[in-house]
A and B are shown apart, each in its own frame.
Chain A
Amino acid sequence: MSDEEHQFESKADAGASKTYPQQAGTIRKNGYIVIKNRPCKVVEVSTSKTGKHGHAKCHFVAIDIFTSKKLEDIVPSSHNCDVPHVNRTDYQLIDISEDGFVSLLTENGNTKDDLKLPTDDSLLTQIKDGFAEGKDLVVSVMSAMGEEQICALKDIGGKN
């Protein structure tokens, strides 16, 4: 129990600095940005001017890193944007439970059991198939702004 408490606390702590201000002009394609309070990855940046002799503004097209929804924003390029703190941690996959949760092995030897499998079928099969084949899988879990999700999968047993 105390473990869970502790986890909760550390989450709240991360929440305090879950975003950072950064000048819009410095945010590049493939960087992160918060749009409509969602953490996004930028897929397109273009600049234009507010009037011929005005200042530059950035036009961002970005994709929500969790929901994959497309979002757009226009910000004067000298103003600040919020940039999410996106963290990725690797865990070894121990088990997949019937109710759609995974069991992961943390670095200090504990297990992490609160992460749900993706709901999308194709992603789900990619994980389940690999696990069913008995491969040693490591999953990367991406977390930002209080949410987390499995974002990548890696077979480490290949070499033996």
Chain B
Amino acid sequence: MQGFTPNTDFSELHSTMRAIELASNSIQMQISPAASEAIILSLGQSSQPYKTCQFILENSLVATARFQAAAAIREAAIREWGFLNADDKRSLISFCLCYAMQHASSPDSYVQAKVSSVAAQLMKRGWLEVVAAEKETLFYQVNQAILGIHGVDVQFAGIKFLESLVSEFSPSTSSAMGLPREFHEQCRRSLERDYMKTFYQWTQEAASSVTNRIIESDSVVPEVKVCTAALDLMLQILNWDFRSNTSDTKINVFSAGVGQDGDSFRRPECHLVQPGSDWRDVLILSGHVGWLLSLYAALRPKFTYEGYWLDCPIAVSARKLIVQFCSLTGTVFLSDDGKMHERHLLQLLSGILEWVDPPDAVSKAIENGKSDSEMIDGCRAILAIANVTTPCVFDNLLKSMRAIGTLTFLSMWMSEVIKVLITRNTEDGTWSWEARDILLDTWTALLMPINTITVNDLLPSEGIKAAANLFGFIVECELRMASASAFNDEGDSDYLRASISAMDERLSSYALIARASIDVTIPLLTHVFSERVTRLNQGRGIIDLTETMEELYSLMLIIGHVIADEGEGEMPLVPNAIQTQFVVNSVEADKHPVILLSSTIIKFAEQCLNPEMRDSVFSPRLMESIIWFLARWSSTYLMSSDGIGEKILDSGHHYEHSSKKVLLSFFGEHNQGRVILDIIVRISLITLTSYPGEKDLQGLTCYMLLHSLVQQRHICVQLVALNSWHELANAFSTEKTLFLLDISHQRSLAQTLVRSASGVRNSEESSQYVRNLMGHIATYIVEMSSKSNLKNVAQQPDILLSVSCMLERLRGAASASEPRTQKAIYELGFSVMNPILVLLEVYKHESAVVYLLLKFVVDWVDGQITYLEAQETAAVVNFCMRLLQLYSSHNIGKISLSLSSSLLSEAQTDKYKDLRALLQLLSSLCSKDMIDFSSDSIEAQGTNISQVVYFGLHIVTPLISMDLLKYPKLCHDYFSLLSHLLEVYPETFAQLNSEAFNHILGTLDFGLHHQDVDVVSKCLRALQALASYHYKETGNGNIGLGAHAMGLKDSSGEVQEGLLSRFLRSLLQLLFFEDYSSDLISVAADALLPLILCEKGLYQVNDSS
């Protein structure tokens, strides 16, 4: 293709223009788009196409051609910027700017917008090299335009230019220029310091100058466009991430500008506008806010006119700016005890109230068809205000205008929104949902600090009352929603955990509101709960109780959130409000509202032990909520070891938390704790035995409730002393129904029961406890494996099921290994070692069983290996190797034949999981060399871990196909193990036979060219280890990697390159000629140095050539 040369005469310019026009047109009509695109691209890629482009811009009648010309200017100029002389640069910028202004009133405004943005980008490109005076000249023109001297259209174009300029200078929206991040950062800083405020003032003036025309006219005038653009620009400037005045002066240029996404309102850490004290005159003292509010107030009556409506652009922009002003904070206000800030917020609030007050009337209007935007924006504004004030200031704002405080108003407002929400019972996504969520966030913003720092009187008493009223209403509505949805069968997301996590944010906000008025809300909850329970008891057997059951379910979730926090893995503390708000006499502990509430619920839950009650009332879903509640409640209150929490909390102030003491001692070990623990265990046993097939319920019981109980030793001590716990253990061993649990639940249960052995008095007894619990299972496996007709019966479904159950139980027990029970669990595993191999042979086609077998071994070895004595280690290692060999012999060269692609891919997945387990097994064995608690060295028995693991790897590696390495986890595990081995045991590696050796090298080479950075860096580290090893050893006169490093003659007599030179080449190739992540540079360098040192000769030859 012919390039576009700079010095061309008119006819050439003309023909180029024609070519571009044709190409632009044919692209739009989808005629040979590739060719047309190439023509257009070549314009931008040609050298100095500016004249041509300018010619096209000025003369072409085809808008898209003009657009492409502008794009070409941008592309060429950014690329050639370094070569252009100052005059060229200046003239390009001013051409673009003038073009945009002169053609402001032309149609196809997107062309003007493009040219304007090109001007902005070029201006930024030259920003740091151009002297201030030159900028002034350009900005003078812009200012003239914005002032409206050349008419409305030019005024609009001027504002739009500034808008693209500001957006170009903001790091998050800037265009790429191929320059370092620092360049963008310097531009940003310079604009913020020298021009931002001036731009704002110009825009402000422009907007004020057209205000009267807009207000006076009853129809849409051209000035509306200008005003809207001005409002948008002001919003954009206030959205700027102001840095100069914030205390955080050190700026990380790499992270700067990230964030600020549109939904920042939804997050608790709301976006704050902090322009600093320099802006005080413009934003606060100039009466700017007053102007904005009155502009919007004047617009409101016009919404019925032609061309105006509630969501017309100018109204939307004005509201957005008002909301933005609510987030204004920091040193822009005088430090006069917040008076100035309060006045500012008050002024805004008085304007915003018009949109939402009275809430009932407004919501009615919306239901009758009015747009919801004012309501939603009002909610956003109140959230913004809540984010910059304390609850007291917040509450006082409204008091100067009305008889009620802002909190009371907020409470009424939200009640109204919720009322609409439940009466319409609408789907997600309607205005009442959105408003409810924003208002809940508002409460969270107000109450969150109180919740964490324990200051009682932060909330005014009137506010507390408002919170109490609102919470009462919320409970009422949630109950109404619950009973209305009781017969809803739609949606499979009924599962408790799913529904809780979906509701969690909402429930936590409810809990904050409840805790703000805890002395009212707890008795309220007790009352509502008891009332429902009474209703159940009275209606049982007479009426359908589903609605009440659903109400109780919902109440259980709310109460759980109000009185206890989620531990998130740590021990949750009693919520501050509950610790501090109640004044209780320790003698009358049972009158403590929280104790009353807890006891009511536990008493209710206990009723499920009665078979009749269970059948009629305690549905699986209700039980799920009970188990969930008991788990959450018990981790906060039950036998809580209060010592730790108290110290953390009380450091700093000296409150006497009598309420907490009463609570914890009441539910402590020496009081009601044991009784309640007993109830909990008995309820658990019931869910496991009397709710056949209810997997979800049983899963909650095993994973959440029982599992968390045995985490603390002092609770284990109590547990093993309970009869009910022994009943559970007994049922586990003998009861048939427990064999019907999901097998992973059985594993969890085995783990839990074994772990509770830590509560048994001494290690001898705890070993006995484990033997009693698990002994018969081992016996079963041993007997099964020695059956003469095993091959015939093994595949029977009933045998298959019971073998699976037993293996999962063994695995659960193995994973609960602790120093005290280690011996017993070792014996357990030792006794089934041979049977495991027998079963592996018999079930070789039953992938599910194979996996269970492998996983048991993995968990068992992992739990034991560090404790084993030399002889035991030798036995275990020997066993593992036999296992690996057996597995390999079954699977190597095996092909599954099936028509079903999903069955084939399942088979592939099974293989992947097996191999991953085997790699884990090898890693566990590896760890013996790192951590070893045994009394003698394992070398005594002649066990060399490194040889064992290399041997294991040698068995496993052929099973790992390239297809299987596509599973990221397997790939990751494999290379972790490999690089670990090479790093730690290079000497063993050197002794491998050439087949094994070459196989590992092959994989290493594969790994080096892998896409995953992590895998590559693991291989690089392995290389580094090998090369350093060789270098050090040879330096000491040893052979190091010996023949492998030298290069070998293979069987056909050809000389193979030594491994180090081979990898030196391959690494240099990678570094010089291939794409790789910059994260690899340092580790690649680490690997390169020893390689070069080992192969100096080769490196220098390459270097010179």
Contacts and interface: CB of A to CB of B under 8 A. Distances in A.
For chain A, give the interface size range: 35 or more
Interface string A11-33: 00000010110111110101110
Contacts of A52: 485-489, 494, 546, 550, 619, 621
A51 B796 contact: no
Contacts of B899: 67-68, 120, 123
A77 B693 contact: yes
A78 B897 contact: no
B740 A84 contact: no
Given A23-B692, A32-B797, A48-B492, A154 B903 contact: no
B1077 interface: no
A133 B895 CA distance: 16
B853 to A, nearest CB: 14
Contact of A26 (B485, B740, B892): B740
A154 B895 CA distance: 6
B696 A55 contact: no
Nearest to B491: A48
Interface stretch (A97-105, A108-116, A145-153): A145-153
B936 to A, nearest CB: 38
Given A23-B740, A26-B742, A51 B795 contact: no
B694 A77 contact: yes
Given A30-B847, A84-B797, A55 B693 contact: yes
Contacts of A83: 797
Interface in A27-69: 28, 30-32, 41, 43, 46-49, 51-56, 58, 63, 65, 67-68
Most buried by B among A53, A150, A156: A53
A53 B798 contact: no
B618 to A, nearest CB: 10
B107 to A, nearest CB: 58
Contacts of B898: 68, 123, 151
A32 B695 CA distance: 19
Contacts of A63: 900, 902-903
Interface in B885-908: 892-900, 902-903, 906
A31 B852 CA distance: 13
Interface in B672-718: 692-696
Contacts of A158: 892-893
B978 interface: no
Nearest to A30: B848
A57 to B, nearest CB: 8
Interface in B488-510: 488-489, 492, 494
Contacts of B795: 85-88
Contacts of B527: none
Nearest to A82: B797
For chain B, give the interface size range: 35 or more
Contacts of B893: 154-156, 158
Interface string B792-811: 00011110010000000000
A20 B740 contact: no
A83 B115 CA distance: 73
B703 to A, nearest CB: 16
A152 B902 contact: no
Contact of A78 (B487, B622, B693): B693
Contact of B897 (A17, A24, A46, A152): A152
Contacts of B848: 28, 30-31
Interface string B606-643: 00000000000001111000000000000000000000
A58 B692 CA distance: 12
B845 interface: yes
Contacts of A49: 494, 620-621
Nearest to B550: A52
A43 B906 contact: yes
Contacts of B489: 51-52
Contacts of A19: 797
A127 B896 CA distance: 11
B903 A43 contact: yes
A13 to B, nearest CB: 11
B693 A152 contact: no
B1083 interface: no
A22 B743 CA distance: 14
B550 A53 contact: yes
A30 B486 CA distance: 35
Nearest to A41: B903
B845 A152 contact: yes
A56 B620 contact: yes
B549 interface: yes
Nearest to B896: A152
Given A43-B903, A126-B895, A155-B893, A53 B620 contact: yes
A140 B845 contact: yes
Contacts of B910: 30
Contacts of A25: 692-695, 740, 742
Nearest to A61: B902
Contacts of A118: 897
A47 B695 contact: yes
A51 B693 contact: no
Given A22-B797, A25-B740, A53 B896 contact: no
Most buried by B among A19, A84, A155: A155
B124 to A, nearest CB: 55
B895 A152 contact: yes
Nearest to A53: B619
B697 to A, nearest CB: 8
B134 to A, nearest CB: 69
Contacts of B740: 23, 25-26
B793 to A, nearest CB: 10
A31 B740 CA distance: 15
B972 to A, nearest CB: 24
B693 A24 contact: yes
A37 to B, nearest CB: 16
Contacts of A126: 895, 897
Contacts of A156: 893
A26 B549 CA distance: 28
Contacts of A32: 797
Contacts of B902: 43, 63
Nearest to A88: B845
Nearest to A48: B492
Contacts of B694: 25, 55-56, 77
Given A53-B550, A56-B620, A154-B893, 20 more contacts: A20-B797, A20-B798, A22-B798, A23-B693, A25-B693, A25-B742, A46-B492, A48-B494, A52-B488, A52-B619, A54-B619, A67-B899, A68-B899, A68-B900, A68-B903, A77-B693, A78-B692, A84-B797, A152-B897, A153-B895
What 4 A-B pairs come out closest when comparing CB atoms? A77-B693, A25-B693, A68-B900, A53-B619
20 contacts: A17-B796, A19-B797, A22-B797, A23-B693, A24-B693, A26-B740, A41-B906, A43-B903, A52-B550, A53-B549, A56-B695, A63-B903, A68-B899, A76-B693, A123-B897, A126-B895, A151-B845, A152-B894, A153-B895, A154-B895
Interface of A: 17, 19-20, 22-26, 28, 30-32, 41, 43, 46-49, 51-56, 58, 63, 65, 67-68, 76-79, 83-88, 118, 120, 123, 126-127, 140, 142, 150-156, 158
